[in-house]
Amino acid sequence: MKRSVVTGGAGFLGSHLCERLLDEGHAVICLDNFVTGTPVNVAHLTGHEHFRLVRCNVTDYVHVTGPVDYVLHFASPASPIDYLNLPIHTLKVGSIGTLHALGLAKEKHARFVLASTSEVYGDPQVHPQPEDYWGHVNPVGPRGVYDEAKRFGEALTMAYRRSHGVDAGIVRIFNTHGPRMRPNDGRAIPAFATQALRGEPITVAGDGSQTRSIIYVDDLVEGIVRMTFSGHPGPMNIGNPHELSILELAELVREVAKSESVISFIPRPEDDPTVRQPDISLAREILGWEPAVDLRSGLDSTVSWFRGHPDVIRRDASRPD
């Protein structure tokens, strides 16, 4: 039986990845310090004979007994509200945490996969963004703590591959949604869904013309798993090439939620990217992968998740869906 270690495994993405690896027949060791993740996300896995949840801060030390075949490094604050509130922790987990996770992979002769991000492209001047684009990032802006932590993590990953022969790879993750997102995590879809379900104004930054490309979590995990088993070094974009404006996204979430919320406009955050769209040619060629879940179907599942969340209380609970 293969053994996989997932750092940040009790987070939104990490928990779905743990679930999928168990389905693949792996024994899974989930490491998390619960700063942004929660044991609730993996509570349904704790009775599985091949799943183990360990409270661990990867910036301190990482040790796992026995053989390990895969190390998937997903530990990091990932939403703006988190990395802006935890800037130093974000930088530490992207640097020291990545160092420790790579050290574990080196010790165990394991395949290592770094969860990087489309944020390494910053506010891109090339559109759509291929993996060989170096990006346009403000290193001293408020978002720089996340962007540069991931860029450093990528450099460290490739250094371990070149200098220590670690079988390491990088996935660049684009905007993802699905069950187990936190209503208050500050990202667009949780904010829009929560506001729509509560009947509150849906707050769109700027004029809403900035674009994003949104992928459902099941599609993302499929791409990550294929990348993990491929042995390819990457970087590899894993995202949905379907691009839409933030205003269009807000209107679609409102429609899916059957809400009468109005759209309101708020100031746009500093260094907010104007466009974001992955070129997934490499993933199609190497992994035979592309998204399969259409945006509307994925949003149906995500909004349903928020509708049942205890922290999302509609103002008019008696109004029928």
**Which residues form the catalytic set?**
146
CA gap 170, 106 in Å, rounded: 16
Helix 217-230 × helix 12-23 angle, to 10°: 60
Cβ–Cβ under 8 Å, residues 214 and 249:
yes
Residues 6+ apart with CB under 8 A from 89: 35, 59, 77
Cβ–Cβ under 8 Å, residues 7 and 54:
no
Cβ–Cβ under 8 Å, residues 298 and 147:
no
The first and second tokens of residue 182, run together, are: 């936190």
**Of the candidates 145, 65, 57, 67, the residue with the CA atom closest to the CA atom of residue 101:** 57
The first and second tokens of residue 288, run together, are: 């035979």
Residue 134: count of CB within 10 angstroms of its CB:
11
Q: What is the torsional sign of CA 290, 295, 298, 302?
A: positive
Cβ–Cβ under 8 Å, residues 33 and 67:
no
* Strand partners for 55: 32
CA gap 20, 14 in Å, rounded: 10
The first and second tokens of residue 316, run together, are: 């008019």
CA gap 290, 283 in Å, rounded: 7
